[in-house]
Amino acid sequence: MMEADKFNAVKDATVAIGIANKDTKDVITSFGTGFFIGGEYIVSSAHIFSQCIKYNAQYKDKKNSMRGIYSAFNITTKGDQLEFNTYHIIKAIRLPPVKEVRGFIGSLDLDIGIGKLNHHSDNFLHIKEPGELKLYDEIVICGYPSGRVSLVLYRNNHGDGMGIHLRPIIQFGRIAGLMPDDDSKSNNPWGIQTDIVAMGGSSGSPIIDPRSGEVVGMAQQVIATMTTVGKDGMPSNLYELTKGPLYGIAPIGLAYGVTNQILSPLPNISKNYFEKGHQPDYLFENTGIIELF
């Protein structure tokens, strides 16, 4: 079992990724999770960065051209005090597909994004060296599963404060499956399936070995849940309009993502690309990085 101080270290290195007011630095919204991998660099799912771009394009204030700034947020503890930290994401990129993935014909786009911040963090997570991952081993996930509401204070109809999510949460579970198959003894798996329930906002959450506090994977998607809303759960006028129940897919389910086999080269790739302009020459296709912003 991971000790409490290791949990706190993981939380300190985990951030919510979203939009901040460019003048006040206040949080406007957040879309997902990421974590520091050293210096000024963070990693997350590339689709989280894309959602930030989409939000800015959709909600730009045309009157005064106000735009939010792409940012990472977290709250750390210093003694008895809480410190709110905002990091401006200067650049974000989407890595090329992984080449020659076993179990697939050709390459595979694993939706991996890395970003450079305007200043460094002393808190970062170590990515465990690739090796054998064992089915049913205990893991923990640290993230902001409520997505855009993670850092927002909600009020009820009476104006009373309902609470605020100050820190990422820790969830416990086990390795439920590995990709392309459960046998990782002869080949390092590229994908990890967990039995931990996640939802929108969990993308980019580090998956941690609780014994060492090191990263063994990153949550990126969930096995989505089919939902049905019947007559009793709908306003009467809506039910009359739809002439029946509503069906849909909810972004909640068991989390899965990539393993440390894919994540382990990212600290060096980040440094080499952002500081030297070098393209990744290991594991990833030589098709060029996509610059998101």
Reading the block at residue 58, the tokens are 């959709």
Q: Quote the longest CA-to-CA distance of the chain.
A: 61
What pLDDT score does 147 carry?
A: 61
Characterize the bridge pairing of strands 41-45 and 27-38: antiparallel
pLDDT value at position 82?
78
What CATH number corresponds to the domain at position 92? Answer: 2.40.10.120
Mean pLDDT within 15-19? 93
Helix (H, G, I), strand (E, B) or coil at 271: helix
3-state helix, strand, coil in the chain (%, to 5): 15, 40, 40
* Domain coverage including residue 262: 4-291
Q: Please say whether the beta carbons of 133 and 216 come within 8 A.
A: yes
Task: Say what the pLDDT of residue 237 is.
Answer: 77
152 half-sphere exposure, CB direction, 13 A CA radius: 13
The answer to whether residue 195 scores a pLDDT higher than 80 is yes
Rounded distance between C-alpha atoms, residue 178 and residue 188, angstroms:
9
- Contact criterion met (CB below 8 Å) for 230 and 245: yes
Cis bond upstream, residue 96 (ω within 30): no
Mean pLDDT computed over 10-35:
89
pLDDT tens per residue across span 102-139: 767 778 899 999 999 999 999 999 999 988 899 999 99
d(C-alpha 203, C-alpha 45), whole Å: 6
Q: Does residue 142 carry a pLDDT above 90?
A: yes
CA distances from 251 to 58, 200, 222 (A): 22, 6, 7
User: What are the C-alpha distances in Å from 202 to residues 4, 169, 220, 255, 264?
Assistant: 22, 10, 7, 8, 20
Short-list 128, 80, 110, CA closest to 220: 110
Instruction: Specify the pLDDT at position 252.
Output: 86
**Contacts of 79 by beta carbon, 8 Å cutoff, 6+ apart:** none
For the chain, what is the domain count?
A: 1
Q: Considering the entire predicted model, what is its pTM?
A: 0.87
CA distance 253 to 288: 33
Contacts with 233 (C-beta within 8 Å, 6 or more apart), sequence order: none
pLDDT for the residue 149: 59
Q: Name the residue type at position 172.
A: F
Neighbours of 285 (CB within 10 A): 17
